Amino acid sequence: MRIRQHPILEFEKGPLIEFEHDGRKLTGHEGESIAAALHAAGVRVLRHSIRLDRPRGFFCAIGRCSSCLMTVDGVPNVMTCVTPLKAGMRIETQTGKGIIPDVRFTHPPADPDYPRDLGNVPLAIVGAGPAGLSAAIAAGRLGVECVVIDENAVPGGQLIKQTHMFFGSKEHHARVRGIDIGEILLKEIEDLPVSVITGTTVLGLYADRVLALLRNDRFHRLTSDSIILATGASENMLAFPNSDLPGVYGAGAVQTLMNVDGVAPGKRVLMIGAGNIGLIVSYQLLQAGVEVAAVVEGLPEIGGYHVHAAKVVRAGVPILTSHTILRALGTEHVEGAVISQIDPQWCPIEGTEVELDVDTICLAVGLTPNCELGSQLGCEEAFVAELGGRVSIHGAGLATTVEGVYIAGDASGIEEASTAMLEGRLAGLSAAGRLLPDLDRNELARLKKEASEGLRTLRAGPFGEHARAGKRKMLELAGVRGGDS
Amino acid sequence: MMKSRAECVIIGGGVVGTAIAYYLAKGGMTDCVLVEADYLSSGATGRCGGGIRQQWSTEANTRLAIESVREFSSLEDELGADIEFLQGGYLILAYTDEDVAQFEKNVALQQGLGLDVSILTPDEITERVVPQLNTDGVRMATYCPSDASANPFLTTTAYANAARRLGVEIELFTPVTRVLTEHGKVTGVETSKGTISTPLVVNVAGSHSVPIAATAGVNLPITPYRRQILVTEPLERFFHPMIISFSLGIYFRQVRHGSVIGGFGDPDEPAGFNQTSSLEFLTTMSSKLAFLMPRLRSVKIVRQWGGMYDLTPDAQPILGETDGVEGFFQASGFSGHGFMIAPKVAMLVAQVVAGQKPDLDISRLNARRFAEGPVTTDRSVV
Ligand SMILES: Cc1cc2nc3c(=O)[nH]c(=O)nc-3n(C[C@H](O)[C@H](O)[C@H](O)COP(=O)(O)OP(=O)(O)OC[C@H]3O[C@@H](n4cnc5c(N)ncnc54)[C@H](O)[C@@H]3O)c2cc1C
Ligand SMILES: Cc1cc2nc3c(=O)[nH]c(=O)nc-3n(C[C@H](O)[C@H](O)[C@H](O)COP(=O)(O)OP(=O)(O)OC[C@H]3O[C@@H](n4cnc5c(N)ncnc54)[C@H](O)[C@@H]3O)c2cc1C
C-alpha cells in the first residue's frame, strides 16, 4: 500500500532491494524503516506478546513503545520502526522473548570522527526539533559552541512529518509548511558554531552533566557545561478492548508512515480525537488517498481550529462529538470498531452503538512530555495536567532545579512548534548568559524580553488558555522551589 | 482514617517489615499498623537482586539461610500468591588462592549441616551448569542447586496482602517522624498523618532505621552504602543459577521474565545516602558481564538503578529488643542479604515481639553485641 500520488510530497526513496520475511522474499526500499517496508507489503503483525501471545503491530513509529520488536538477522528485540532496511536482511516475526544468537557479537566498525570519549562541549542540546534547533541558533549567535543531538536520521523533530501550512503569526513561520520550517532552521545554523549529531540517542544523563550516547550501536561519553532538554513528547495511548491490535496506531506513527515513508496506514481509518492533531492527520490521510470513516471526539465540542475542522467536514468526513470508541474488532488485526455516544459524565449511552468498517484506528488523544532525562539527573518534577503530565519544574528563563540544565518545547509542556521555537530561543539565551559571563547583560536582557513577549503573544487568546494556566502553575512551583528566572 | 492506637506498629514496608506484620498477625496479633514512608518495596527491597543463598561461611548464617529457603519453598502456597520462586542454584566462582582456601572450608561446613553443595572444576561448570560461562581464570566453583531466587516485589506484595487479610492496616506515603518513649518505654510513633499510641514498635526501615532509632535516643551502628544494579532486555531462559564472584564483587541471574539482572559492589563507594546511578557503574558492570558471559555482549541494557546497603560492623543484621527502651525492636542492618533471610528472620522477630521464645536463638544478633567486644565477620558477602 504505497502512496503513488500525493498533492504535496514527493517521496525520495532508496533503491528497491530484496529482503526475507519469515522465509518469503519481499521487496522494499533501502533505508526505509523495516516496519514501513513490511507495512507496504501488507504485513501488519510484527510479533506476538510475551505473556498472552497477542499479535502486535507497530504503534509509535519513533522507537519508544517496543510494540514493533522483531528478530532481524538472528538478533531478537530489534525496534523495526527505527531500524533501516538493508538488502538481504532476514526478518522474522518474533514470538515470545528473544533468543540471543550463539555468535560473537561484532560491533560495526568504529567511526574515527566519533571516539568513545567525545570530550567536553559548552552546551549540549538534546533533541533537534524546533525547540532544540532554535536554542542552538540563539546560543550559537552569541558565540556559544553547541552540539545538538537527535536520535532520528534527519533533524527537525515532529516538523519533518508536518505537510500542512502552519498557523500562527508570520514571524513564527505561519503559512509555511512544517517540513520547510525545519529546513529554514537548519540553514540558519550553518554559519554558527553549532554541530548537529543525528542518529544518536542520549541514553542517560549523569551527575556533572555527563551524557551517555548511543550511535550506530556504539557507546560514547560527552561532558558539558550546560544542557538544554528539548526532547519533545510521546503519544498517549487509550485503553479499550483490543486497543493492542495491529492497526491501532498513534497519530504520529500514521504521519510518519504516510508523510515520511509514503506508505498508507490502511484503507479506511477511524480517527479518535478532534484536536488539531486529529483534524490535521485526518486531512493528510485524505490527501494520501485514504478514506476516513469518522472523527470521534469525547468532548461536546471540536478541540482544534475551525479551519482544520472545516477542511475535513468539507471532504465529507463526519466529526462526531460526545462520542467514544468502545472497542476494536478483529483477532489478528483491526477489522472494525464500535463507537457510541457518551453522556456528559463520559458514560456510553446504551443503544447508540454503531459498528464501523475500518482497518485502522488512529489515536490522536494527546501527548505527554518526555521528562525521563531530567528525571534521571534529579530535576524536580511536578504533574501539571494543563502541560500534559509530569514536567521538570522550570522558571521563566526555563532553568530546571539542577544547575546549568534547561528545558524547552513540548518537553516543558505540550504546546506548538511556534512556542517551542521561542522557548528554545529563550533557553538558549539563558544558557548563554550562564556560560558567557562577559556577555552584554543589557543586550541579553533585551533578547530574552523579546522572546518572552513573543511567547506571551502566542499564548494569548482562548487556545492558549491551557498553556497559560500550566505555565502559571509552573512559575509558582519554581518560585517555591527556587528555580531561576 | 489511620488508627490512633494499635497493639504494634511496624515502621517500613520492605520485605522484612511486611513479613513481620504477616507473622505477627498469623500468630494472633492482628491489631497492627505498618507505616511506610513511600510505597511498598520502595527501599532496598524493590532495588535488590532477589537472590536466595545458603552458602555462607559461618554455621549460624548457613543454618538461618537453610531455614529461610525452607520457608521460601512453601511461601507461595502459604501466601496464596506467585512470587517467582525458582531453585536455580548459586554458582560461586573462585579466582584466587584465598577464594579456593575459603571455599573448601565453607563447603566442608555447609555439607556438615546437610546442604547439597559441591565443588566444580571449570570444565564441570560449562559441562553441567552454565555452558555459556567464560571460565578464563576460574580456579573452581561451588554449586548448590537448591539455592534460589524470587521476585522481591511479588514477595513483599504477597506478605502485605496476606497481612491485610488478617486485619493488619498498612499506611502508605506516611513517614514516621519520631518514636515516642516515656520512662524507658515505647508509647507510640509520630507520623506525618498523626500519632499512633502503641506499646510495641518494630523499626524495619533499612538504612533509615538509624535516624528513626535516634529519635528514641538509640544509636544503631549501621552505615549506608550505595549499591548499583542493572537489567537487560528479556530473553528466553538460557541459564538458571545466580552466578557470583566475591573477588570480582559481581552477581547476576536471569529472572523469570527473561531479563538478566546483576550488580557489583564498588569497594571505593563512599558511605552515605545515595540512590543515584553512575555511568562508571554502567560501563564497568557491562564489561564484567561481557567478560563472564560473552553472549551478553549483544544484549541491550534497559535500566540501571541504585539502592542502599545497610552495613553493620560484622555484616550481620541487628535483631531484637533494644536495651534501655522497652517495647522498641530492631530488624535492620541486613548488609546486603536481607531478602534471602527475610521469611525466617521475620518469623523469629515476630515471635520475640509477641513475647514468645523464638524457634532459633537470635540473641547473638542483638545490637548489644557491638558493646560486648569485637565481632567476627562472615566472609561470604558481595
Ligand atoms: C500532527 C501534528 C500537527 C501539528 N501542527 C502544528 C501547527 O500547525 N503549528 C504548530 O505550531 N505546531 C504544530 N504541531 C506541534 C509541533 O509539531 C510540536 O509542538 C513541536 O514539534 C515541538 O517541538 P519540540 O522541539 O519541543 O519537540 P519535537 O519536535 O518532538 O523534537 C524533539 C526531538 O528530540 C528527539 N529526542 C527525544 N529524546 C531524545 C534522546 N534521548 N536522544 C536523542 N534525541 C531525542 C526526538 O526524536 C525529536 O526529534 C503539530 C504536531 C503534530 C503531531
Ligand atoms: C542493589 C542491591 C542488591 C541486593 N541484592 C540482594 C540479593 O540478591 N539478595 C538479598 O538477600 N538481598 C539483597 N539486597 C539486600 C536487600 O535488598 C535488603 O537487605 C532487604 O531488601 C532489606 O529489606 P528491609 O525490609 O529491611 O528494608 P527496605 O526494603 O529498605 O525497607 C525499608 C522501608 O522503610 C521505609 N522507611 C524509611 N524511612 C521511613 C520512615 N521514616 N517512616 C516509614 N517508613 C520508612 C522505606 O521507604 C522502605 O520502604 C540487595 C540490596 C541492594 C541495594
pLDDT in tens, B253-297: 999 999 999 999 888 999 999 999 999 999 999 999 999 998 898
Q: How many residues does chain B have?
A: 382
Chain A interface includes B77 (CB < 8 A): no
Band (pLDDT 50/70/90 cuts) for residue A452 is very high
User: How does strand B148-149 pair with strand B51-52?
Assistant: antiparallel
The closest of B40, B76, B73, B61 to B315, measured between CA atoms, is B61
Lowest mean pLDDT among A335-339, A340-344, A461-465, B80-84: A461-465
DSSP B29: -
The mean pLDDT value for A453-466 works out to 89
Cα B125 from Cα B92, distance rounded (Å): 10
CA distances from A371 to A71, A117, A230, A377 (A): 30, 25, 10, 10
pLDDT at position A106 is 62
With a cut of 80, say whether residue B382 has pLDDT above it: no
Answer yes or no: is pLDDT of A141 > 80. Answer: yes
CB contacts < 8 A, A to B, total: 49
**Ligand 2 centre distance from Cα of residue B225 (Å):** 12
pLDDT at residue B122, rounded to an integer: 97
- The model's pLDDT over B42-98, given as tens digits with 9 standing for 90+, comes to 999 999 999 999 999 988 889 999 999 999 999 999 999 999 999 999 999 999 999
Question: Which residues share a beta bridge with A367?
Answer: A235
| Mutate which: A100, A107, A118, A202, vs B, most B CBs within 10 A | A100
pLDDT of residue B149: 97
For residue A221, what is the nearest residue in chain B, using CA coordinates?
Answer: B279
CA distances B296 to A99, A312, B163, B264, B265, Å, are 11, 51, 40, 16, 20
Please give the DSSP secondary-structure letter assigned to residue A332: S
B183 C-alpha vs ligand 2 centroid, how far in Å?
Answer: 31
| B126 has a chain A CB within 8 A of its CB | no
Q: Is the pLDDT of residue A281 over 70?
A: yes
Q: What is the widest separation between alpha-carbon atoms in chain B? A: 64
Distance from CA of A69 to the nearest CA of B (A): 11
Compute and round to an integer the Cα radius of gyration of chain A. 23
Q: Does A159 have pLDDT greater than 90? A: no
Calculate mean pLDDT across residues A29-56.
Answer: 93
What mean pLDDT, rounded, does chain B reach? Answer: 95
Domain boundaries, chain B: 8-47+153-221+314-372, 88-146+223-311
Rounded average pLDDT over A155-175: 71
For B219-246, the pLDDT digits (tens) are: 999 999 999 999 999 999 999 999 999 8
Which has more confidence, B17 or B265? B17
Which ligand has the minimum distance to the alpha carbon of residue A371? 1
Of all protein residues, whose CA lies closest to atom 50 belonging to ligand 2?
B48
| Cα–Cα distance for residue pair A39/A361, rounded to 1 Å | 15
Look at residue A464 in the predicted model and tell me its pLDDT: 86
**Which atom, in ligand 1's list, is nearest to the CA of A281?**
1
pTM (two decimals): 0.90
Alpha-carbon distances, residue A135 vs A125, A198, A225, A450 (angstroms): 8, 16, 15, 14
pLDDT reading at A482 higher than 60: no
Supply the pLDDT for residue A454.
94
Considering only CB atoms, B297 lies closest to which of A105, A206, A210, namely: A105
The bridge status of strand B201-203 relative to strand B8-11 is parallel
CA nearest to B278 within chain A: A206
With CB atoms and an 8 Å threshold, state whether B298 touches A221: no
Q: In the β-sheet with A94-95, what is the strand arrangement from edge to edge?
A: A55-56, A47-48, A94-95
Q: Which residues pair with A342 in a beta bridge?
A: A348
- Residue B128 three-state SS: helix
Are B247 and B46 a contacting pair, CB within 8 Å? no
pLDDT confidence band for A60 (50 / 70 / 90) = confident
Q: Hey, what's the cell of B57?
A: 561461611
Q: Which residues of A touch B236 (CB under 8 A)?
A: 96-99
- Residue B374 in this model has a pLDDT that exceeds 80: no
Distance CA A54, CA A56 (A): 6
How far, in Å, is the centroid of ligand 2 from the Cα of B343? 14
Is residue B308's pLDDT more than 90? yes
Q: Averaged over A145-172, what is the pLDDT?
A: 80
Which helix (DSSP H) or strand (DSSP E) does residue B153 occupy? helix B152-165
Find the ligand nearest to A370 CA.
Answer: 1
The residue nearest atom 21 of ligand 1, judged by CA position, is A158
Mutation choice for ligand 1 from A81, A154, A158, CB with most ligand atoms inside 8 A: A158
Q: How far apart are the first and last CA of chain A?
A: 51
d(CA B280, CA B286): 10
Q: What is the pLDDT of residue A100?
A: 80
Give CA–CA dist A148/B281, Å, rounded.
Answer: 26
Distance, in Å, from the CA atom of A255 to the CA atom of A162, rounded to the nearest integer, reads 8
Nearest CB partner across the interface for B299, out of A100, A204, A212? A100
CA distances (Å), origin A390, targets A267, A369, A380, A418, A469: 36, 7, 10, 22, 15
Q: Which residues from chain B sit within 8 angstroms of residue A50, using beta carbons? A: 234, 257-258
* CA distance linking residue B63 with residue B75, whole number of Å: 18
Three-class SS state of B91: strand
Residue range B88-146+223-311 forms a domain whose CATH class is alpha beta
* Minimum CA–CA partner of A375 in chain B: B276
Tell me whether B279 touches chain A (CB under 8 Å). yes
Rounded CA-CA distance A44/A59 in Å is: 11
Convert the pLDDT of each residue in B132-178 to its tens digit. Answer: 999 999 999 999 999 999 999 999 999 999 999 999 999 999 999 99
Distance from C-alpha of B120 to C-alpha of B126, rounded to nearest angstrom: 10
Instruction: Please report, as a single letter, which amino acid is at residue A354.
Output: V
Confidence (pLDDT) at B375: 76
Q: What is the DSSP string of A179-246?
A: HHHHHHHHHHHTTSSEEEE-SEEEEEEEGGGEEEEEETTEEEEEEEEEEEE---EEEPP---TTTTST
Which amino acid is located at A157 in the chain?
A: G
Confidence of residue A107 (pLDDT cuts 50, 70, 90): low
E strand spans, B136-175: 140-144, 148-149, 169-171
Measured between beta carbons, which residues in chain A are less than 8 angstroms from residue B257?
50
Q: Phi/psi zone of residue A99: left (φ > 0), alpha (ψ -120 to 50 degrees), beta?
A: beta
Fold of B8-47+153-221+314-372: FAD/NAD(P)-binding domain (3.50.50)
Q: In this predicted structure, what is the pLDDT of residue A484?
A: 54
Q: What pLDDT, on a 0 to 100 scale, did the predictor assign at position B347? A: 97
Pairing of β A323-329 and β A336-341:
antiparallel
Find out whether B48 and B152 touch, Cβ atoms under 8 Å.
Answer: yes
Q: What residues form DSSP beta bridges with B119?
A: B142
Is A103's pLDDT higher than 90?
no
* Cβ neighbours of A466 (radius 10 Å): 18
In this predicted structure, what is the pLDDT of residue A105?
55
Distance CA A425, CA A173 (A): 15
- Please tell me which residue of chain A has the smallest CA distance to B298: A105
| A172 pLDDT tier (thresholds 50, 70, 90) | low
pLDDT band at A11 (very low <50, low <70, confident <90, very high): confident
Q: State the pLDDT at residue A173.
A: 64
Helix (H, G, I), strand (E, B) or coil at B211: helix
What does the pLDDT average to over B197-223? 97
User: pLDDT digit string (tens) for A212-259?
Assistant: 999 988 899 999 999 999 999 999 999 999 999 999 999 999 998 998
